[in-house]
Amino acid sequence: MAKKEIKTNAMRILEKHKIQYEVIYYECDEFKDGISIAETLGQDPEQCFKTLATKGKSGQYYVYVLPVADELDLKKCAKAVGEKSVEMIHVKEINQVTGYIRGSTTALGMRKKYPVVIHKSARNLEEMIVSGGKIGIQLKLAPKDYQKAVDGIFTDIIKE
């Protein structure tokens, strides 16, 4: 029996903005890190992006999108959004803040609209791969289209 194709909020948002995207389905019942998924699917990890949420000193939440193999530089992140400092939100808070569960977080269709910062390396790519809003679903699209859909900015946010 063929697996039923699922339409996520992230897909609906892209369609609302008339943005072209490709859906990549994969088998996964629980959280796996982005590098493992990229390797399993034969994808270039530099093309695959994860989405992380932080909370600033002001109490405002911020969303960062970066290559799966990289790590956030929290000082660069704070500077990018004009905060004194930012810190990662606790895993237990992910669903409450974003509306997603760990491993499926995407800047598209979060519970509320938060400022989104995308690592500048995405600008140089023809296509990027992000979570589709559900474990087992990825979306491939042009970085400029993703930036438009999430109203994000490109800058340096990773540790060297």
CATH code for the domain in which residue 121 is found? 3.90.960.10
- Which residue's structure tokens are 């910062």? 117
Is 78 a member of any domain? Answer: yes
CB atoms within 10 A of CB 142: 16
pLDDT number for residue 29: 66
CA pair distance 152, 160, nearest whole angstrom:
22
Domain containing 33 equals 24-155
pLDDT number for residue 39: 78
Is 160 a member of any domain? Answer: no
Is 11 a member of any domain? Answer: no
The full 3-state SS of the chain, as one line of letters, equals CCCCCCCCHHHHHHHHCCCCCEEEECCCCCCCCHHHHHHHHCCCCCCEEEEEEEEECCCCEEEEEEECCCCECHHHHHHHHCCCCEEECCHHHHHHHHCCCCCCCCCCCCCCCCCEEEEHHHHHCCCEEEECCCCCEEEEECHHHHHHHHCCEEECCECC
Is 126 a member of any domain? Answer: yes
Global pTM reads 0.92
CA pair distance 96, 50, nearest whole angstrom:
18
C-alpha triplet 40, 46, 52: angle, nearest 5°: 90
User: With a cut of 50, which residues of the chain have pLDDT below it?
Assistant: 1-2
Amino acid at 103: G
Is 143 a member of any domain? Answer: yes
pLDDT number for residue 30: 64
pLDDT number for residue 136: 87
Is 134 a member of any domain? Answer: yes
pLDDT number for residue 80: 98
Closest of 133, 126, 89 to residue 108, by C-alpha: 133
CA pair distance 33, 54, nearest whole angstrom:
18
pLDDT number for residue 9: 92
Is 19 a member of any domain? Answer: no
Is 142 a member of any domain? Answer: yes
Into how many domains does the chain fold? 1
